[in-house]
Structure 1
Amino acid sequence: MAAVHGTGFSTNFCAHCEREIPSSNYDLHSAHCKRNLERCPECQEMVPRMRAGEHYNEYHAPAVCQLCGTKVNREHLTTHEQEKCPRRMVECEYCDFPVEAAHLPAHSDVCGSRTEMCIPCGKYVRLREKYVHDVQFHGESDETGITREYNVPRGSGSSASEVSHRPLPHSRGPPPVVSRHRLIFTFAITGVAILIGTLVLQRRGPNQRPQQ
Protein backbone atom coordinates (compact mmCIF):
# COMPACT_ATOMS: atom_id res chain seq x y z
CA MET A 1 0.00 0.00 0.00
CA ALA A 2 1.38 3.37 -1.00
CA ALA A 3 1.77 6.17 1.54
CA VAL A 4 1.46 9.79 0.44
CA HIS A 5 3.56 12.38 2.29
CA GLY A 6 2.68 16.06 2.76
CA THR A 7 4.84 17.09 -0.20
CA GLY A 8 2.98 14.68 -2.51
CA PHE A 9 5.92 12.22 -2.39
CA SER A 10 4.59 8.63 -2.12
CA THR A 11 6.39 5.53 -0.78
CA ASN A 12 5.69 1.82 -0.52
CA PHE A 13 6.64 -0.38 2.42
CA CYS A 14 8.92 -3.31 1.58
CA ALA A 15 7.94 -6.27 3.77
CA HIS A 16 11.27 -8.01 3.16
CA CYS A 17 13.62 -5.28 4.43
CA GLU A 18 10.94 -3.36 6.36
CA ARG A 19 11.83 0.00 4.81
CA GLU A 20 9.84 2.71 3.08
CA ILE A 21 10.79 2.73 -0.62
CA PRO A 22 9.86 5.48 -3.11
CA SER A 23 6.92 4.27 -5.19
CA SER A 24 8.76 5.02 -8.44
CA ASN A 25 11.54 2.57 -7.44
CA TYR A 26 9.50 0.03 -5.52
CA ASP A 27 9.16 -2.65 -8.23
CA LEU A 28 12.85 -2.61 -9.01
CA HIS A 29 13.79 -2.58 -5.32
CA SER A 30 11.39 -5.39 -4.43
CA ALA A 31 12.84 -7.77 -7.03
CA HIS A 32 16.43 -6.93 -6.02
CA CYS A 33 15.79 -7.02 -2.29
CA LYS A 34 14.20 -10.50 -2.19
CA ARG A 35 16.80 -11.99 -4.50
CA ASN A 36 20.03 -10.48 -3.10
CA LEU A 37 19.47 -9.47 0.55
CA GLU A 38 18.75 -11.39 3.73
CA ARG A 39 18.38 -10.42 7.39
CA CYS A 40 21.18 -11.32 9.80
CA PRO A 41 19.69 -13.28 12.73
CA GLU A 42 22.28 -11.80 15.11
CA CYS A 43 22.07 -8.04 14.45
CA GLN A 44 18.88 -7.92 12.32
CA GLU A 45 20.69 -5.94 9.62
CA MET A 46 20.09 -6.62 5.92
CA VAL A 47 23.26 -7.99 4.33
CA PRO A 48 24.00 -9.35 0.82
CA ARG A 49 23.30 -13.06 0.58
CA MET A 50 26.70 -13.69 -0.95
CA ARG A 51 28.39 -12.02 2.05
CA ALA A 52 26.19 -13.44 4.80
CA GLY A 53 28.85 -15.92 5.93
CA GLU A 54 31.58 -13.31 5.81
CA HIS A 55 29.42 -10.90 7.79
CA TYR A 56 28.78 -13.52 10.48
CA ASN A 57 32.45 -14.48 10.79
CA GLU A 58 33.56 -10.85 10.95
CA TYR A 59 31.02 -9.55 13.46
CA HIS A 60 29.28 -12.44 15.24
CA ALA A 61 31.33 -15.65 15.13
CA PRO A 62 32.83 -16.61 18.52
CA ALA A 63 36.44 -15.48 18.82
CA VAL A 64 39.11 -17.66 20.39
CA CYS A 65 41.27 -16.15 23.13
CA GLN A 66 44.91 -16.65 22.15
CA LEU A 67 45.91 -17.06 25.81
CA CYS A 68 43.41 -19.54 27.25
CA GLY A 69 41.59 -20.84 24.14
CA THR A 70 38.15 -19.83 25.43
CA LYS A 71 35.52 -18.90 22.83
CA VAL A 72 33.85 -15.57 23.51
CA ASN A 73 31.75 -13.15 21.53
CA ARG A 74 33.98 -11.17 19.25
CA GLU A 75 32.72 -7.89 20.63
CA HIS A 76 33.72 -9.02 24.12
CA LEU A 77 37.14 -10.36 23.19
CA THR A 78 39.11 -7.29 24.28
CA THR A 79 37.35 -7.16 27.65
CA HIS A 80 38.01 -10.86 28.18
CA GLU A 81 41.70 -10.59 27.36
CA GLN A 82 42.27 -7.55 29.58
CA GLU A 83 39.99 -8.28 32.55
CA LYS A 84 38.71 -11.87 32.65
CA CYS A 85 41.18 -14.24 31.02
CA PRO A 86 42.72 -16.52 33.70
CA ARG A 87 46.00 -16.65 31.74
CA ARG A 88 46.49 -12.89 31.51
CA MET A 89 49.52 -11.50 33.35
CA VAL A 90 48.96 -9.29 36.38
CA GLU A 91 51.39 -7.81 38.89
CA CYS A 92 51.57 -8.90 42.50
CA GLU A 93 50.84 -5.96 44.80
CA TYR A 94 53.62 -7.00 47.20
CA CYS A 95 56.56 -7.73 44.87
CA ASP A 96 55.36 -6.27 41.51
CA PHE A 97 56.28 -9.58 39.86
CA PRO A 98 54.00 -10.54 36.92
CA VAL A 99 52.06 -13.78 37.44
CA GLU A 100 49.07 -15.38 35.76
CA ALA A 101 45.74 -14.20 37.13
CA ALA A 102 44.72 -17.77 37.99
CA HIS A 103 47.81 -18.15 40.20
CA LEU A 104 47.67 -14.72 41.79
CA PRO A 105 45.67 -15.65 44.95
CA ALA A 106 48.10 -18.43 45.92
CA HIS A 107 51.12 -16.26 45.09
CA SER A 108 49.78 -13.28 47.05
CA ASP A 109 49.03 -15.45 50.07
CA VAL A 110 52.66 -16.55 50.28
CA CYS A 111 54.18 -13.25 49.19
CA GLY A 112 52.05 -11.20 51.57
CA SER A 113 53.17 -13.35 54.52
CA ARG A 114 56.76 -12.17 54.15
CA THR A 115 57.91 -9.75 56.85
CA GLU A 116 59.72 -6.47 56.44
CA MET A 117 61.27 -4.26 59.10
CA CYS A 118 59.42 -1.03 59.82
CA ILE A 119 62.17 1.60 59.96
CA PRO A 120 60.43 4.02 62.39
CA CYS A 121 59.67 1.46 65.13
CA GLY A 122 62.03 -1.40 64.31
CA LYS A 123 59.28 -4.03 64.27
CA TYR A 124 58.92 -6.75 61.67
CA VAL A 125 55.53 -6.47 59.95
CA ARG A 126 53.87 -8.71 57.38
CA LEU A 127 53.59 -7.09 53.98
CA ARG A 128 49.82 -7.61 53.87
CA GLU A 129 49.56 -5.73 57.18
CA LYS A 130 52.08 -2.97 56.37
CA TYR A 131 49.53 -0.37 55.27
CA VAL A 132 47.33 -0.89 58.34
CA HIS A 133 50.42 -0.77 60.56
CA ASP A 134 51.60 2.52 59.05
CA VAL A 135 48.16 4.11 59.37
CA GLN A 136 47.65 2.92 62.95
CA PHE A 137 51.07 3.71 64.40
CA HIS A 138 52.80 6.17 62.07
CA GLY A 139 50.12 8.22 60.41
CA GLU A 140 48.46 7.87 57.02
CA SER A 141 50.59 6.74 54.07
CA ASP A 142 50.44 8.39 50.67
CA GLU A 143 50.00 6.67 47.28
CA THR A 144 53.70 5.83 47.03
CA GLY A 145 53.63 4.02 50.38
CA ILE A 146 55.95 6.56 52.04
CA THR A 147 54.77 7.67 55.45
CA ARG A 148 54.26 11.42 55.65
CA GLU A 149 54.45 11.68 59.44
CA TYR A 150 55.05 9.37 62.36
CA ASN A 151 52.72 9.50 65.30
CA VAL A 152 53.23 7.70 68.57
CA PRO A 153 50.35 5.76 70.17
CA ARG A 154 48.80 7.53 73.12
CA GLY A 155 50.19 6.58 76.49
CA SER A 156 53.61 5.61 75.14
CA GLY A 157 55.28 8.58 76.82
CA SER A 158 57.65 9.13 73.90
CA SER A 159 57.78 11.88 71.34
CA ALA A 160 57.78 11.39 67.58
CA SER A 161 61.45 12.36 67.32
CA GLU A 162 62.40 9.77 69.93
CA VAL A 163 60.54 7.05 68.07
CA SER A 164 62.00 7.95 64.68
CA HIS A 165 65.54 7.79 66.12
CA ARG A 166 64.97 4.82 68.40
CA PRO A 167 67.75 2.23 67.83
CA LEU A 168 66.78 -0.95 66.03
CA PRO A 169 66.86 -4.29 67.89
CA HIS A 170 70.32 -5.75 68.66
CA SER A 171 71.98 -2.37 68.12
CA ARG A 172 74.05 -0.66 70.81
CA GLY A 173 72.53 2.72 70.23
CA PRO A 174 74.23 6.07 70.96
CA PRO A 175 76.75 6.34 73.83
CA PRO A 176 75.38 7.63 77.18
CA VAL A 177 75.52 11.40 77.59
CA VAL A 178 77.37 12.65 80.72
CA SER A 179 75.74 15.51 82.56
CA ARG A 180 77.48 18.85 82.16
CA HIS A 181 76.98 19.70 85.84
CA ARG A 182 78.60 16.42 86.86
CA LEU A 183 81.70 17.22 84.79
CA ILE A 184 82.00 20.69 86.33
CA PHE A 185 81.65 19.23 89.84
CA THR A 186 84.31 16.59 89.15
CA PHE A 187 86.78 19.19 87.84
CA ALA A 188 86.15 21.42 90.88
CA ILE A 189 86.82 18.60 93.39
CA THR A 190 89.99 17.62 91.53
CA GLY A 191 91.25 21.23 91.55
CA VAL A 192 90.60 21.65 95.28
CA ALA A 193 92.44 18.44 96.08
CA ILE A 194 95.47 19.50 94.07
CA LEU A 195 95.51 22.93 95.77
CA ILE A 196 95.35 21.43 99.27
CA GLY A 197 98.14 18.99 98.48
CA THR A 198 100.33 21.79 97.20
CA LEU A 199 99.82 23.89 100.37
CA VAL A 200 100.63 20.97 102.66
CA LEU A 201 103.90 20.27 100.88
CA GLN A 202 104.94 23.94 101.05
CA ARG A 203 104.38 24.07 104.86
CA ARG A 204 106.49 20.98 105.52
CA GLY A 205 109.42 22.38 103.61
CA PRO A 206 111.96 20.49 101.60
CA ASN A 207 113.92 18.98 104.65
CA GLN A 208 110.98 18.12 106.89
CA ARG A 209 110.17 14.48 106.99
CA PRO A 210 106.83 13.11 107.90
CA GLN A 211 106.51 11.74 111.46
CA GLN A 212 107.04 8.03 111.88
Structure 2
Amino acid sequence: MGCPREGLKEKKRRALAILEALKEAYPGAKTELKHNSPFQLLVATVLSAQATDKSVNEATPALFARFPNAQALAQALPEEVEPYIKRIGLYRTKARNLVALARKLLEEHGGEVPKDKRALMRLPGVGWKTATVVLGAAFGVPGIAVDTHVARLARRLCLSQAKSPEGIGKDLEALFPKKDWVFVHHALVLHGRYVCLARKPRCGDCPLAAHCPSRQEG
Protein backbone atom coordinates (compact mmCIF):
# COMPACT_ATOMS: atom_id res chain seq x y z
CA MET A 1 0.00 0.00 0.00
CA GLY A 2 1.43 3.36 -1.02
CA CYS A 3 1.42 6.59 0.90
CA PRO A 4 -1.72 8.74 0.70
CA ARG A 5 -1.73 12.13 -0.92
CA GLU A 6 -2.06 14.51 1.98
CA GLY A 7 -1.12 18.08 2.70
CA LEU A 8 1.02 19.20 5.61
CA LYS A 9 -2.02 19.89 7.81
CA GLU A 10 -3.40 16.40 7.26
CA LYS A 11 -0.02 14.82 7.85
CA LYS A 12 0.45 16.82 11.05
CA ARG A 13 -2.99 15.77 12.24
CA ARG A 14 -2.11 12.12 11.64
CA ALA A 15 1.27 12.60 13.33
CA LEU A 16 -0.46 13.96 16.44
CA ALA A 17 -2.75 10.92 16.49
CA ILE A 18 0.34 8.70 16.22
CA LEU A 19 1.93 10.64 19.07
CA GLU A 20 -1.06 10.07 21.34
CA ALA A 21 -1.04 6.36 20.53
CA LEU A 22 2.70 6.19 21.28
CA LYS A 23 2.20 7.94 24.62
CA GLU A 24 -0.45 5.42 25.58
CA ALA A 25 1.62 2.44 24.45
CA TYR A 26 5.05 3.59 25.71
CA PRO A 27 4.62 5.99 28.63
CA GLY A 28 7.98 7.12 29.93
CA ALA A 29 9.84 5.71 26.91
CA LYS A 30 13.60 6.06 27.27
CA THR A 31 16.82 4.51 26.02
CA GLU A 32 17.42 0.87 26.89
CA LEU A 33 21.18 1.44 27.02
CA LYS A 34 22.32 1.07 30.64
CA HIS A 35 24.35 3.98 31.99
CA ASN A 36 24.94 6.04 35.13
CA SER A 37 26.27 9.26 33.62
CA PRO A 38 26.31 11.25 30.37
CA PHE A 39 29.81 9.89 29.72
CA GLN A 40 28.65 6.28 30.06
CA LEU A 41 25.66 6.99 27.82
CA LEU A 42 28.00 8.47 25.21
CA VAL A 43 30.24 5.40 25.32
CA ALA A 44 27.28 3.01 25.14
CA THR A 45 25.77 4.90 22.21
CA VAL A 46 29.06 4.82 20.30
CA LEU A 47 29.24 1.07 20.95
CA SER A 48 25.64 0.57 19.76
CA ALA A 49 26.43 1.54 16.15
CA GLN A 50 25.83 -1.57 14.03
CA ALA A 51 25.22 -3.56 17.22
CA THR A 52 22.25 -4.41 19.40
CA ASP A 53 21.52 -2.67 22.69
CA LYS A 54 21.46 -6.12 24.27
CA SER A 55 25.05 -6.85 23.25
CA VAL A 56 26.15 -3.43 24.47
CA ASN A 57 24.39 -3.85 27.82
CA GLU A 58 26.11 -7.21 28.29
CA ALA A 59 29.53 -5.61 27.79
CA THR A 60 29.29 -2.26 29.56
CA PRO A 61 29.01 -3.31 33.24
CA ALA A 62 32.56 -4.71 33.23
CA LEU A 63 33.79 -1.94 30.92
CA PHE A 64 32.40 0.81 33.18
CA ALA A 65 33.69 -0.91 36.31
CA ARG A 66 37.19 -0.68 34.84
CA PHE A 67 36.78 2.69 33.06
CA PRO A 68 33.97 4.59 34.82
CA ASN A 69 34.77 8.04 33.44
CA ALA A 70 36.75 9.93 30.81
CA GLN A 71 39.74 10.31 33.13
CA ALA A 72 40.11 6.55 33.51
CA LEU A 73 39.49 5.71 29.87
CA ALA A 74 41.90 8.39 28.65
CA GLN A 75 44.74 6.58 30.43
CA ALA A 76 44.05 3.30 28.63
CA LEU A 77 45.39 1.83 25.43
CA PRO A 78 42.90 0.55 22.86
CA GLU A 79 44.31 -2.95 23.41
CA GLU A 80 43.20 -2.73 27.06
CA VAL A 81 39.66 -1.81 26.04
CA GLU A 82 39.22 -4.44 23.33
CA PRO A 83 38.67 -7.48 25.61
CA TYR A 84 35.68 -5.78 27.24
CA ILE A 85 33.88 -5.15 23.95
CA LYS A 86 35.12 -8.05 21.84
CA ARG A 87 31.63 -9.45 21.25
CA ILE A 88 30.43 -6.14 19.80
CA GLY A 89 30.79 -5.47 16.07
CA LEU A 90 33.76 -3.38 14.90
CA TYR A 91 35.27 -3.65 18.37
CA ARG A 92 38.83 -2.73 17.38
CA THR A 93 37.75 0.49 15.67
CA LYS A 94 35.41 1.30 18.54
CA ALA A 95 38.15 0.72 21.12
CA ARG A 96 40.41 3.18 19.31
CA ASN A 97 37.61 5.72 19.02
CA LEU A 98 36.62 5.43 22.68
CA VAL A 99 40.14 6.04 23.94
CA ALA A 100 40.60 8.98 21.56
CA LEU A 101 37.17 10.31 22.55
CA ALA A 102 38.02 10.17 26.25
CA ARG A 103 41.32 11.96 25.69
CA LYS A 104 39.62 14.71 23.69
CA LEU A 105 36.95 15.11 26.37
CA LEU A 106 39.73 15.52 28.93
CA GLU A 107 41.75 17.95 26.83
CA GLU A 108 38.92 20.12 25.54
CA HIS A 109 36.01 19.71 27.96
CA GLY A 110 37.50 18.90 31.35
CA GLY A 111 36.33 15.31 31.06
CA GLU A 112 32.67 16.31 30.78
CA VAL A 113 30.32 15.56 27.89
CA PRO A 114 29.55 18.83 26.07
CA LYS A 115 25.94 19.89 25.60
CA ASP A 116 26.68 21.28 22.15
CA LYS A 117 25.96 19.12 19.09
CA ARG A 118 28.85 20.43 17.01
CA ALA A 119 31.29 19.83 19.85
CA LEU A 120 29.96 16.30 20.28
CA MET A 121 30.28 15.56 16.58
CA ARG A 122 33.95 16.54 16.67
CA LEU A 123 34.61 13.61 19.02
CA PRO A 124 35.96 10.39 17.46
CA GLY A 125 33.20 7.92 16.64
CA VAL A 126 30.39 10.42 17.20
CA GLY A 127 28.11 11.34 14.30
CA TRP A 128 24.82 13.20 14.00
CA LYS A 129 22.68 10.33 15.32
CA THR A 130 24.86 9.61 18.36
CA ALA A 131 25.10 13.31 19.23
CA THR A 132 21.32 13.72 18.97
CA VAL A 133 20.67 10.64 21.12
CA VAL A 134 23.08 11.73 23.85
CA LEU A 135 21.85 15.33 23.95
CA GLY A 136 18.25 14.17 24.25
CA ALA A 137 18.68 11.30 26.70
CA ALA A 138 21.32 12.91 28.91
CA PHE A 139 20.35 16.59 28.82
CA GLY A 140 16.81 16.77 27.45
CA VAL A 141 17.90 18.75 24.40
CA PRO A 142 15.08 18.44 21.81
CA GLY A 143 15.86 16.34 18.75
CA ILE A 144 14.67 13.22 16.92
CA ALA A 145 17.61 10.91 16.34
CA VAL A 146 17.15 8.47 13.47
CA ASP A 147 18.40 4.90 13.65
CA THR A 148 17.28 1.97 11.51
CA HIS A 149 14.05 1.54 13.52
CA VAL A 150 13.04 5.19 13.29
CA ALA A 151 13.89 5.33 9.59
CA ARG A 152 11.80 2.21 8.88
CA LEU A 153 8.80 3.51 10.82
CA ALA A 154 9.02 6.97 9.25
CA ARG A 155 8.68 5.33 5.83
CA ARG A 156 5.98 2.85 6.80
CA LEU A 157 3.94 5.53 8.55
CA CYS A 158 4.42 7.78 5.49
CA LEU A 159 5.86 10.56 7.63
CA SER A 160 9.07 10.90 5.61
CA GLN A 161 10.52 9.58 2.39
CA ALA A 162 13.89 11.29 2.90
CA LYS A 163 16.97 9.17 2.24
CA SER A 164 19.37 10.41 4.92
CA PRO A 165 18.91 10.15 8.72
CA GLU A 166 19.29 13.90 8.98
CA GLY A 167 16.58 14.42 6.35
CA ILE A 168 14.21 12.00 8.06
CA GLY A 169 14.85 13.68 11.41
CA LYS A 170 14.09 17.10 9.91
CA ASP A 171 10.81 15.82 8.43
CA LEU A 172 9.75 14.26 11.73
CA GLU A 173 10.66 17.35 13.73
CA ALA A 174 8.40 19.39 11.42
CA LEU A 175 5.44 17.13 12.27
CA PHE A 176 5.72 16.66 16.04
CA PRO A 177 5.74 19.25 18.86
CA LYS A 178 9.29 20.15 19.91
CA LYS A 179 8.63 19.22 23.54
CA ASP A 180 7.93 15.64 22.41
CA TRP A 181 10.90 15.12 20.09
CA VAL A 182 13.02 13.12 22.52
CA PHE A 183 10.03 10.96 23.50
CA VAL A 184 9.14 10.36 19.84
CA HIS A 185 12.64 9.03 19.15
CA HIS A 186 12.61 6.61 22.08
CA ALA A 187 9.01 5.48 21.50
CA LEU A 188 9.59 4.81 17.80
CA VAL A 189 12.74 2.83 18.62
CA LEU A 190 10.79 0.65 21.08
CA HIS A 191 7.92 0.23 18.63
CA GLY A 192 10.29 -0.76 15.84
CA ARG A 193 12.17 -3.13 18.10
CA TYR A 194 9.16 -5.01 19.49
CA VAL A 195 6.16 -4.50 17.17
CA CYS A 196 6.90 -2.99 13.74
CA LEU A 197 9.60 -5.53 12.97
CA ALA A 198 11.70 -5.23 9.84
CA ARG A 199 10.78 -8.55 8.21
CA LYS A 200 7.37 -9.31 9.65
CA PRO A 201 5.57 -6.39 11.32
CA ARG A 202 3.03 -7.40 13.94
CA CYS A 203 0.23 -5.27 12.50
CA GLY A 204 -2.45 -7.16 14.42
CA ASP A 205 -0.88 -6.04 17.70
CA CYS A 206 0.00 -2.51 16.58
CA PRO A 207 -1.46 0.47 18.49
CA LEU A 208 -0.60 2.68 15.49
CA ALA A 209 -2.43 0.56 12.92
CA ALA A 210 -5.38 2.93 12.58
CA HIS A 211 -2.99 5.69 11.48
CA CYS A 212 -0.64 3.58 9.33
CA PRO A 213 -1.09 3.49 5.53
CA SER A 214 1.26 0.47 5.33
CA ARG A 215 -0.64 -1.76 7.73
CA GLN A 216 -1.22 -5.32 6.59
CA GLU A 217 -4.68 -6.77 7.08
CA GLY A 218 -5.30 -10.19 8.54
Q: Same fold (TM over 0.5)?
A: no
- Between Structure 1 and Structure 2, the one with more strand by share is 1
Q: Rg: which structure is higher?
A: 1
- Give the structure-2-normalised TM-score: 0.17
- Give the structure-1-normalised TM-score: 0.17
- Between Structure 1 and Structure 2, the one with more helix by share is 2
Higher relative contact order (CA 8 A, sep 6+): 2
